[in-house]
């Protein structure tokens, strides 16, 4: 039988659900009333239960936390970025949560000066999240947005560099900022009542360099989006010629252009929206580059004259096995990001042109062996011919490279340092292919210790599978603590994500959403069949929409996992989507469906975790939420916790099943602000995972507790095994 942590009190298993039950509301919808004092009382009681449960593991949590810190270079200096007048970089002190930004004149590197101290600002708040930083074109003024509550509502500040007084200009706005090239105008966004960025605004400023004074002269609406499914976003072409205002839903987009040197010009719609058509723009003098999917699901890249005369020409045609994901324009040509469907791998290509705009060079940018994450780094100048590239994989920490386009030299600029007993060469990475219910091949990535690679290991299986987000390989220092103790980490690249291009996304949304759940379960079985994972010891982990993935998978096959971690999980899908007054709901109709349509309601209801919950069948679970979360409200994990823990309290057979909820009462969807608090919370989560995987080492738990007989779980579940990897 699977043991509780040593000396775990019975009350820690029981939880507070019985004390807060309302006979007229067995769905616990009353938890949605934030103003009811009983709601915070319930959450605080659940927090105390979780603290009690974790108390015997405090020595393990501390070791995980300290082990993580020991592996990491705590003092971090960012790569310098040379702008027109100044070179900028960030430095984070070894004991600091936030960075300090420095600069020096390009011709005087000895004249270093601090121009923005985020660590000092953080001392004034229990929570601080930077939304955006925007440097004026002359590099003399800094504007930024910050959220001090975790609800993703921002305030706008500006200051004269390097040490002018800060001026608080606006409250309750969106995070994005964009300077016009006149140096006197800022674009920003505002929210509607559902926290949808529905409008772009132009802030005309009066900036006095001598006194460092900044005042708002006018605050004018530029563009409003009335369709509740569309969000406004801001940008500027790399050529610095055009400001872009994009209005986009999950499957349709439209871009308006404003001359960056004449920001008072009314916005011009580049191409009116067409349902189901997405397009993106970039610019070189004389030409616009249009990446679109009109009639071409994998996207095609075309070019047209800046004056809109003549016909568009195809530069990169539509291809069946490749999705075009992005275009970045430079004076000399383009960098194209594309995704290979078969390998589930992103690639970068370089295109150069002659004076007639004929392609003279079409070649891949060199990179390390796949699978890996690959992207352009910071290249602030339009005429840069030395690019920065960023790479990482499950085995290799983030690395920044320079690539000289003229000489072809590829030079390592920086790699995140690692300390301790697990170096990249001690890790083993592999990719499996699972066969899903319909025969589709699903990529599954695995990383573990190389010396344990040939045996079934306790495994943490992660998944997301929504919005076309690609879970390309990423390195984690904290993950090394799990790997060192004998666990494997696996990622199921399920449909609904973007790992295999646009078709992969479309095959996991709306009416195809159940494919995501079947893929996740198929990935679990493939790990077992390949001898990678011990079938009795697999923990499922999902966050946000990944919480939906894991929750729906548990409802389908609760016996497949010995435990689960659900972080800010989207589990009350039908009820949330039925409420258009909640943030995100209307914008999500094209992802999940609109329950005002009966067919959509039936479909969502068929998989929504809370609407299909078998509270008696679930394994142990650790749920996490945020009081100020505007994306997945705190009450979604709280309702799931209440229903599971009530079953624990009412049924003797479940009385020792572990069901935990930890709600951060000071943060939102992203969890704790500040890296040390976030790392400590991660250590607590990892302690739960190690407990669930039966990887608690005797020396990691308080010795005086080890003499107590462990409380056995009420029934065998998949973690009930005496097998253990040879660590």
**Segments making up each domain of the chain, as ranges:** 10-70+423-572+608-705, 125-268, 278-417
Residue 596: how many CB atoms within 10 A of its CB? 11
Q: For position 470, what pLDDT does the model report?
A: 96
Does position 713 have pLDDT exceeding 80, yes or no?
A: no
Q: For position 36, what pLDDT does the model report?
A: 97
Does position 725 have pLDDT exceeding 80, yes or no?
A: no
Spatial contact of 403 and 365, defined as CB atoms under 8 Å apart: yes
Residue 535 CA from chain centroid, whole number: 29
Mean pLDDT of the residues in the chain: 92
pLDDT band at 60, cuts 50/70/90?
Answer: very high
Does position 707 have pLDDT exceeding 60, yes or no?
A: no
Residue 531 CA from chain centroid, whole number: 30
What is the homologous superfamily of the domain 125-268 according to CATH?
A: Prolyl oligopeptidase, N-terminal domain (2.130.10.120)
Does a cis peptide bond (omega within 30 degrees of 0) precede residue 574? Answer: no
Does a cis peptide bond (omega within 30 degrees of 0) precede residue 162? Answer: yes
Where is pLDDT greater, at 590 or 15? Answer: 590
Spatial contact of 388 and 377, defined as CB atoms under 8 Å apart: yes
Strand (E) or helix (H) holding 309: none
Full strand arrangement of the beta sheet holding 141-147: 129-135, 141-147, 154-160, 167-173
Q: For position 14, what pLDDT does the model report?
A: 66
All residues at 6 or more sequence positions from 264 whose CB lies less than 8 Å from its CB, including other chains: 185, 202
Counting residues of the chain whose pLDDT is more than 70, the rounded percentage is 94
Q: For position 13, what pLDDT does the model report?
A: 58
Q: For position 703, what pLDDT does the model report?
A: 36
Q: How far apart are CA 643 and CA 27, in angstroms?
A: 8
Q: For position 1, what pLDDT does the model report?
A: 30
Q: How far apart are CA 277 and CA 280, in angstroms?
A: 10
pLDDT in tens, 542-581: 999 999 999 999 999 999 999 999 999 999 999 999 999 9
Q: For position 723, what pLDDT does the model report?
A: 30
If you search the block for the tokens 């020991």, which residue do you land on? 70
Q: For position 673, what pLDDT does the model report?
A: 86
SS3 188: strand
Q: For position 310, what pLDDT does the model report?
A: 85
Q: For position 704, what pLDDT does the model report?
A: 36
Q: How far apart are CA 689 and CA 461, in angstroms?
A: 11
pLDDT band at 379, cuts 50/70/90?
Answer: confident
Q: For position 671, what pLDDT does the model report?
A: 85
User: Phi/psi of residue 264, each to 5°?
Assistant: -80, -10
Q: For position 697, what pLDDT does the model report?
A: 67
pLDDT in tens, 320-350: 999 999 999 999 999 999 999 999 999 999 9
Does position 727 have pLDDT exceeding 80, yes or no?
A: no
All residues at 6 or more sequence positions from 453 whose CB lies less than 8 Å from its CB, including other chains: 428, 430
Quick one: tokens of 44?
């605080």
Q: For position 557, what pLDDT does the model report?
A: 97
Does position 157 have pLDDT exceeding 80, yes or no?
A: yes
Class of domain 10-70+423-572+608-705: alpha beta
Beta bridge mates, 238: none
Q: For position 720, what pLDDT does the model report?
A: 37
Strand (E) or helix (H) holding 422: none
pLDDT in tens, 247-300: 999 999 999 999 999 999 999 999 999 999 999 999 999 999 999 999 999 999
Q: What is the DSSP string of 482-515?
A: HHHTT-EEEEE--BTBSTT-HHHHHTTSGGGTHH
Q: How far apart are CA 341 and CA 505, in angstroms?
A: 11
User: Phi/psi of residue 255, each to 5°?
Assistant: -120, 135
What is the homologous superfamily of the domain 278-417 according to CATH?
A: Prolyl oligopeptidase, N-terminal domain (2.130.10.120)
Nearest one of 459, 486, 635, 643 to 563, comparing CA atoms: 459
Does position 523 have pLDDT exceeding 50, yes or no?
A: yes
If you search the block for the tokens 């004018």, which residue do you land on? 220
Does position 705 have pLDDT exceeding 50, yes or no?
A: no
SS3 40: helix
Nearest one of 696, 710, 702, 687 to 9, comparing CA atoms: 710
pLDDT band at 584, cuts 50/70/90?
Answer: confident
Q: For position 12, what pLDDT does the model report?
A: 58
pLDDT in tens, 179-229: 999 999 999 999 999 999 999 999 999 999 999 999 999 999 999 999 999
Per CATH, 125-268 and 278-417 having the same topology is answered yes
């Amino acid at each position: 039988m699977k043991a509780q942590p040593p000396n775990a009190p019975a009350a820690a298993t029981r939880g507070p659900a019985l004390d807060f039950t309302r006979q007229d509301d067995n769905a616990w919808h009353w938890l949605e009333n934030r103003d009811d004092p009983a709601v915070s009382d319930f959450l605080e009681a659940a927090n105390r239960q979780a603290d009690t449960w974790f108390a015997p593991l405090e020595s393990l949590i501390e070791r995980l936390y300290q082990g993580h810190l020991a592996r990491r270079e705590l003092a971090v200096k960012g790569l310098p970025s040379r702008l027109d007048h100044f070179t900028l970089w960030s430095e984070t002190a070894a004991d600091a949560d936030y960075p300090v930004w420095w600069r020096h004149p390009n011709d005087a590197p000895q004249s270093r000066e601090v121009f923005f101290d985020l660590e000092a600002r953080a001392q004034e708040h229990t929570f601080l999240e930077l939304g955006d930083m925007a440097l004026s074109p002359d590099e003399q003024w800094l504007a930024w947005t910050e959220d001090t509550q975790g609800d993703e509502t921002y305030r706008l500040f500006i200051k004269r560099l390097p040490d002018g007084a800060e001026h608080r200009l606006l409250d309750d706005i969106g995070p994005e900022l964009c300077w016009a090239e006149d140096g006197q105008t800022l674009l920003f966004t505002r929210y509607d009542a559902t926290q949808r960025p529905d409008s772009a605004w132009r802030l005309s400023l009066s900036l006095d360099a001598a006194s460092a004074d900044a005042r708002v002269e006018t605050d004018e609406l530029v563009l409003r989006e009335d369709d509740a499914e569309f969000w406004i976003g801001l940008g500027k072409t790399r050529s610095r010629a055009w400001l872009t205002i994009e209005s986009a839903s999950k499957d349709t987009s439209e871009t308006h252009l404003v001359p960056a040197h004449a920001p008072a010009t009314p916005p011009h719609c580049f191409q009116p929206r067409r349902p189901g058509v997405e397009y993106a723009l970039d610019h070189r003098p004389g030409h616009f580059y249009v990446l679109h999917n009109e009639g071409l699901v994998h996207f095609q890249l075309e070019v047209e004259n800046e004056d809109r005369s003549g016909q568009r020409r195809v530069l990169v045609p539509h291809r069946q096995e490749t999705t075009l994901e992005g275009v970045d324009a430079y004076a000399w040509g383009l960098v194209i990001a594309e995704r290979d469907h078969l390998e589930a791998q992103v690639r970068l290509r370089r295109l150069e042109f002659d004076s007639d705009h004929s392609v003279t060079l079409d070649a891949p940018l060199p990179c390390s062996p796949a699978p890996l994450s690959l992207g352009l780094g910071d290249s602030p100048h339009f005429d840069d011919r030395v690019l920065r590239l960023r790479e990482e994989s499950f085995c290799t920490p983030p690395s920044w490279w320079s690539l000289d386009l003229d000489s072809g030299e590829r030079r390592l600029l920086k790699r995140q340092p690692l300390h301790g007993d697990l170096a990249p060469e001690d890790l083993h990475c592999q990719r499996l292919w699972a066969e899903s219910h319909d025969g589709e091949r699903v990529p599954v990535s695995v990383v573990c210790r190389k010396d344990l690679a040939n045996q079934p290991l306790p495994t943490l299986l992660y998944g997301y599978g929504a919005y076309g987000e690609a879970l390309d390989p990423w390195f984690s220092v904290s993950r090394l603590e799990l790997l060192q103790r004998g666990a494997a980490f696996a990622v199921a690249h399920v449909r609904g994500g973007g790992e295999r291009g646009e078709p992969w996304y479309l095959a996991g949304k709306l009416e195809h959403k159940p494919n995501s759940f079947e893929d996740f379960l198929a990935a679990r079985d493939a790990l077992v069949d390949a001898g990678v994972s011990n079938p009795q010891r697999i923990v499922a982990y999902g966050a946000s929409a990944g919480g939906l993935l894991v929750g729906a998978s548990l409802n389908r096959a609760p016996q497949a996992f010995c435990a689960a971690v659900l972080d800010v999980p989207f589990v009350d899908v039908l009820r949330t989507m039925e409420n258009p007054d909640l943030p995100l709901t209307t914008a999500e109709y094209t992802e999940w469906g609109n329950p005002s349509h009966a067919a959509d309601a039936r479909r969502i209801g068929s998989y929504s975790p809370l609407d299909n919950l078998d509270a008696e069948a679930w394994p142990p679970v650790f749920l996490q939420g945020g009081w100020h979360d505007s994306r997945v409200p705190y009450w979604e994990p709280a309702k799931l916790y209440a229903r599971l823990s009530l079953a624990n309290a009412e049924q003797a057979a479940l009385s020792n099943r572990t069901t935990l909820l930890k709600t951060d009462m000071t943060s939102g969807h992203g969890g704790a602000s500040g890296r040390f608090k976030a790392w400590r919370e991660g250590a607590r989560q990892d302690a739960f995972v190690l407990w669930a995987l039966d990887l608690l080492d005797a020396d990691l738990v308080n010795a005086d507790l080890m003499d107590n007989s462990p409380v056995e779980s009420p029934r065998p579940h998949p973690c009930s095994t005496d097998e253990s990897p040879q660590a």
